[in-house]
Structure 1
Amino acid sequence: MRDDFLTTEHEPGRTGYNEIVSSFHNPDGRVMIAAHRGDWRHAPENSLAAIQYSIVAHADLIEIDVQQTRDGAFVLMHDETVDRMTNGSGTIAEMTLAELRELRLRQYQGGSAKLLTNYTIPTLEEVMILVRNKVMINLDKCWAWREEIYPILERTGTVQQTLFKSTAEPEEIHRFIHRVGEKPLYMHVLDSTNEQHAAQMDDFCRYVKPQAVEICFEREDSPLVAPEVLRTIRQHNCRLWVNTMWDSLCAGQSELGDAEANWQAHLQQGFTMIQTDDTEKLRRYLDEVEQPERAAHRSVKVE
């Protein structure tokens, strides 16, 4: 077992996995928290430890970034290079898994000034083994490898707790979802590259049947968040996901400003999934202000 392969078995007070999945599939259910690259405030982003800390902090989902090595392995790293996050340099696609294993991760969000840790770059399979029946996962940067990644989810028994996502055209998405055996979960992304999809959401949702829609919008008057678009999405029993890590993702209403006021504004718009860089702060806000029933959910033990 890896030195940094931590365990989350039977931690007291943590939201039960079955409750998380049940809430996700209930579009009228409680607001859900997504941890951005894991809890990087306590461990290197996209590390096994950051994922562990996110689970301890009661995240419902964890967003992770995936890259492929020269020899075909899938590892967690946001950047295409290892420069920012490790004591090495080079492009991941030009390095082998063995070469990556020799590197150590830098603390938090990396950079040359950050201290080195004893943590190493995890593989996607290690991550899925760690999170199985504990928390949901949102896969970022890996749509192009969906056919190769799906068998990893099958092998680890994590298909139904993992969200694929993309900005792709509906035909491409439909082919993938209906070609594989166990139907995967899917979240569509609306941003400036595919604004035309917003005007087609009724037909899109009927055809693709996504479980959630992530919207990245730079302006409050963006057509992506027009009331009729949000209403259409909700009518198809889809959850609405907003990113509040920085201003350009949510029309300046991020957690970098008045976080609580901005979270409240997004809730009023109808968003029911919030991605954050501060899981603990968002959890406290939802517990104390928006959703006191969350405390009861957290008393459920791991199934």
Structure 2
Amino acid sequence: MRQLVLLFVTLAISQLTVAQSRPVDAIIRELHDPASKQVLVVAHRGDWRGNPENSVRAIESVIQMGVDVVEIDLKKTKDGVLILMHDRTIDRTTSGSGKPEDYTWAELQQLTLKNAHGCPTRQRITTFEECMNTVKNRIMVNIDKGYDYYQDAYAILVKTGTVDHAIIKSTRPYETVKAENGNLLGGKLAFMPVVDLNKPAANAVIQSYETNLKPLAYELIFQTDSALVHSNYQTIPKTSSKIWFNSLWASLDAGHDDERSVEEHHPEDGWGWLIDHNATMIQTDRPAELLAYLRKRKLHR
């Protein structure tokens, strides 16, 4: 009897330790802490420079780096399986050709992924469910090209126990998102509006979201510095939402991009400029370099 009791106690302690050791919990806390000055790093399609984009290896690589969020893209097969794929066709990233929705999942499993140089690898296309099982308890996921599969994605998140790991986004205004997926707004699955500050309706879109939803974050796009000056994006931090900027290429951030920060060796006018303008999340194609920069500035754990 005593041995049985000790066994139950050991199992209980073990389960408690596992529950308390999820690295993703620290990321989630940062994301929900409006007072935090830490800057979260988002890896665009995983570590695609060293591995096929949107692959398990690309995801594993950025987890090992210490990245906070990995950005992925979704498509659906002919038989309804959600897979990780950015393009409308599989030509650029796989050994096949055509649209993913023209293939069954079994057929796609016969193909292999290409690396960043277009060379073949032995890596296979990843399902969304496999992706979420890979990241579970370890890192958050941003579902970029996936709004069309909002309900299906949510079902996978529930199945894998990772609803709190994910952020989904869209360029649609609040009223449209509410009409199409209102049952999932307001806590079930974090939603992030994507707002182009150069568009005339940008201020109205932000105001509508601030009034009706108060999203976890806003992804803001701007082609000129003046777009920030003339927008009401400054109101966002007051509502406790995070500000996400993209440093991927110049048209998304008025030239304060990865190239400026890394290749041109001016990180203060690249990533630093974004941080000075309220960035609390930065999506990058240079996650290792951005992490090193932030840690040097004591802006990342």
Same fold by TM-score greater than 0.5: yes
Please show how residues 170-181 of structure 1 align to structure 2 within 5 Å. Answer: 170-175=174-179, 178-180=182-184
**Identity percentage over the alignment?**
35
What per-residue deviation string (whole Å, max 9, x for no partner) do you get for residues 214-256 of structure 1? 011111112xx23662221111111000110111111111111
Question: Judging changes above 3 Å, is the alpha-carbon distance between structure 1 residues 185 and 250 closer, same or farther for their aligned structure 2 residues?
Answer: same
Match of 1:255 among 246, 255, 258: 258
Q: Which amino acid aligns with 1:21?
A: I
1:49 is aligned to 57
Partner Cα distance (1:276, 1:231) in 2: 22
What per-residue deviation string (whole Å, max 9, x for no partner) do you get for residues 166-222 of structure 1? 011212323566514961101110026964132352342120221000011111112
Cα shift at 1:90: 1.3
Matching of residue 106 in structure 1 with residue 114 in structure 2: yes
Match of 2:218 among 192, 213, 217: 213
Cα RMSD between the aligned structures?
2.1
Q: Which amino acid aligns with 2:243?
A: L
Matching of residue 137 in structure 1 with residue 141 in structure 2: yes
The 3-state SS of whatever aligns with 1:221 is: helix
The gaps in structure 1 that reach 5 residues or longer are 1-9, 298-303
Matching of residue 287 in structure 1 with residue 295 in structure 2: yes
Partner Cα distance (1:15, 1:280) in 2: 22
Cα shift at 1:43: 1.0
Match of 2:209 among 201, 204, 207: 204
Matching of residue 16 in structure 1 with residue 23 in structure 2: yes
Partner Cα distance (2:32, 2:230) in 1: 22
The 3-state SS of whatever aligns with 1:257 is: helix
Partner Cα distance (1:228, 1:26) in 2: 24
2:7 is aligned to none
Partner Cα distance (1:90, 1:102) in 2: 14
Match of 1:124 among 128, 131, 140: 128
Please show how residues 145-224 of structure 1 align to structure 2 within 5 Å. Answer: 145-175=149-179, 178-180=182-184, 183-191=188-196, 195-222=200-227
What per-residue deviation string (whole Å, max 9, x for no partner) do you get for residues 20-70 of structure 1? 110011123210000000011221110000000010011100000111111
The 3-state SS of whatever aligns with 2:219 is: strand
What per-residue deviation string (whole Å, max 9, x for no partner) do you get for residues 84-140 of structure 1? 111111111211111111111112x253xx2x2111000001101111111110001
Higher relative contact order (CA 8 A, sep 6+): 1
Question: Judging changes above 3 Å, is the alpha-carbon distance between structure 1 residues 33 and 93 closer, same or farther for their aligned structure 2 residues?
Answer: same
Partner Cα distance (1:290, 1:156) in 2: 34
1:31 is aligned to 39
2:100 is aligned to 92
The 3-state SS of whatever aligns with 1:141 is: coil
Partner Cα distance (2:34, 2:52) in 1: 32
Cα shift at 1:148: 1.7
Matching of residue 68 in structure 1 with residue 73 in structure 2: no
- Using the size of structure 2 for normalisation, the TM-score is 0.85
Contact persistence 1:62–1:138 (CA under 8 A): yes
Partner Cα distance (1:238, 1:110) in 2: 38
Q: Which amino acid aligns with 1:229?
A: N
Contact persistence 1:32–1:274 (CA under 8 A): yes
The 3-state SS of whatever aligns with 1:67 is: strand
The gaps in structure 2 that reach 5 residues or longer are 1-16
Partner Cα distance (1:38, 1:159) in 2: 20
Question: Judging changes above 3 Å, is the alpha-carbon distance between structure 1 residues 158 and 203 closer, same or farther for their aligned structure 2 residues?
Answer: same
Partner Cα distance (1:167, 1:59) in 2: 25
- Using the size of structure 1 for normalisation, the TM-score is 0.85
Structure with larger Rg: 2
Question: Judging changes above 3 Å, is the alpha-carbon distance between structure 1 residues 41 and 200 closer, same or farther for their aligned structure 2 residues?
Answer: closer
